[in-house]
Amino acid sequence: MIPQLEGSQPPPSPLSGRDCLTLAEFTPEETVLILDEAIKIKTLQKSRIPYRPLRGQTLAMVFQKPSNRTRVSFEVGMYQLGGHALHISPDEIQMGKRETPSDTGNVLARYIDAIMVRTFDHQELEELASAADVPVINGLSDTHHPCQALADLLTIREEFGTLEEVKIAYVGDGNNVAHSLTIACALTGAELTIAHPEKHGPDQKIVQLAEKLGAAPTRTEDPQEAVNGARVVYTDVWASMGQEAEAEERKQKFAPYQVNSELMSLAAEDAIFLHCLPAHRGEEVTAEVIDGPRSRVFDQAENRLHAQKALLYLLLG
């Protein structure tokens, strides 16, 4: 598909009406399509060519967790595509407390054209999506972060021109970011190794799912083994939202997994560093690495906007 300029009618999307809850809803070909569209839309945006295929459409943004990049990138992205984004805070909706997720999805679908949800419980997200007859996008749940993975893939593809057989080392907690990266790599042929402390690896169900989709990640408790020869070194915070009580304990357990210059020296000569942000300098990554010449974290953050615009365009098209 090629984005049409303002005033022309875009062709119907093959993903129209679909949900994006985990990335596993898509085939390898559909995943590549999303990335292709993201590159085209990004090119138009950088060229300041108006492209507003979603005029008259509204995205409801449901937040159970606080947000910076997710809110701004979705709201700006919807605006740039000609639509409108409506922010709904936890106090306003109280999903799962004042109203069931299915009732929330059913009601919102009567008003708007798509729903983005950033929440804790992935099961509640699935319940909402099953009741809503409009596209539902996972802006983050405790189990998955598919929009982040799309931005990761876009950043890596821009850097190396391909994803096939690119060696990626993820160092740290087997959390929602690791889960979505696992699925994304399985769909695109990237070779993922996850280095994690004992009992902090990715969910085995996600690993099995990745194996069905293409390939399971290699897992190790040795960060040096994972990073050796890698072209992408990726990490995330050691304690995610909701794990604040474990923060001090995790600092001790994860200390050997810090991404520093010594660890980066084991990676390929052209290796880049990624982090989904927010970052804690001096914990999971040193300032020397994240603020150094190999870092692509702000390109990666920007690509949330372009990847999500492509997703919105394709699901609402």
Catalytic site positions: 118, 145, 148, 236, 276, 304
Inter-axis angle of helices 176-188 and 204-213, nearest 10: 10
Give residues with Cβ within 8 angstroms of 78, minimum separation 6. Answer: 54, 59, 84, 85, 312
Q: Look up residue 167 and give its DSSP letter.
A: E
Q: Match 């990624």 to its residue by tokens.
A: 274
Measured distance CA(8)–CA(47) in Å, rounded = 18
Indicate if the alpha-carbon torsion angle 136, 140, 144, 150 is positive or negative: positive
Provide Rg for the chain, Cα atoms.
19
Q: How many residues does this entry show for the chain?
A: 317
Contact 133, 109 (CB under 8 A): yes
Rounded to 10 degrees, what is the CA torsion of 275, 85, 19, 50?
Answer: -80
Contact 304, 69 (CB under 8 A): yes
Taking the C-alpha atoms of residue 15 and residue 19, their distance in angstroms, rounded to an integer, is 9
Distances (CA, A) of 160 to 109, 185, 190, 226, 228: 40, 15, 12, 19, 18
